[in-house]
Amino acid sequence: MVEYVPGMTVAQLRAQIDAAKAHAMDRFESDWGTRDIRVVMDALCRTIPGSASPADAAAKALAIVRR
């Protein structure tokens, strides 16, 4: 989580943002099995139109990504 504190320098704020981004990408990789967002987006674009729900689309996309 990024938290701005009055008096914080740009470098301190940037360090917090970079740490949050790294954590988010680690979680993304843990969930999807890849750090390549384009692969996941491609799979979701293929599964969303024929899916009954967002969870169904995600499950189908996950199967595609993990092949």
**Do 48 and 57 contact (CB within 8 A), yes or no?**
yes
**Mutual orientation of helices 10-32 and 37-47 as an angle, nearest 10°?**
50
**Extents of the domains making up the chain:** 1-32, 35-67
Q: Which two tokens stand for residue 47?
A: 């599964």
pLDDT tens-digit readout, 4-63: 999 999 999 999 999 999 999 999 999 999 999 999 999 999 999 999 999 999 999 999
**Do 51 and 60 contact (CB within 8 A), yes or no?**
yes
pLDDT of residue 1: 84
Alpha-carbon radius of gyration of the chain:
17
Query: Minimal CA–CA distance to 40: which of 22, 21, 58, 20?
Result: 58
Model's pTM, two decimal places? 0.79
